């Protein structure tokens, strides 16, 4: 989990998720992410695990505005539940999320990460 935390810290530092929050969620949930040297970062996270991780790294709760959510409409005191509800409402399996994931994956490739293909559509 330390590699994943370092990855998220790098994304924050570089500002790579700004304007790509839906793609960010889609990639973390449904795709394999590696460093350029082949070190595994993530092989897809469950919604619950991603919510817990976003809570631990204190992700900016205003990021949900990018996907059309109002932070005031999400659980204010339980940050893990806040993120879980945001992920549920983001529709991370929609065609728009897949497209956003492809765009975000390209941003990651530019800075040296390897991102796998999206999961097959059901």
Contact yes or no for 97/23 (Cβ under 8 A)? yes
On the 0-12 / 13-18 / 19+ scale of CB atoms within 10 A, 34 is middle
Condensed to tens digits (0 to 9), the pLDDT of residues 19-50 reads 999 999 999 999 999 999 999 999 999 999 99
Q: What percent of the chain has pLDDT over 70?
A: 98
Kind and range of the H or E element at 4?
helix 2-14
Angle at 114 (CA atoms; ends 56, 46), nearest 5 degrees = 40
Contacts of 115 (CB under 8 A, 6+ apart): 27, 31, 32, 33, 34, 105, 108, 109
**pLDDT score recorded for residue 122:** 59
Q: What percent of the chain has pLDDT over 90?
A: 91
């Amino acid at each position: 989990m330390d590699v994943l935390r370092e990855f998220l810290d790098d994304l924050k530092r570089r500002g790579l998720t700004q304007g790509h929050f839906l793609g960010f969620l889609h990639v973390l949930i449904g795709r394999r992410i590696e460093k350029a040297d082949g070190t595994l970062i993530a092989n897809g996270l469950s919604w619950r695990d991603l919510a817990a991780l976003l809570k631990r790294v204190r992700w900016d709760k205003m990021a949900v505005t990018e996907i059309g959510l109002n932070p005031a409409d999400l659980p204010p005191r339980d940050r893990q539940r806040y993120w879980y509800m945001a992920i549920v409402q983001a529709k991370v399996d929609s065609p728009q999320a897949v497209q956003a994931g492809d765009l975000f994956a390209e941003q990651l490739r530019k800075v040296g990460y390897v991102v796998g293909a999206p999961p097959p559509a059901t």
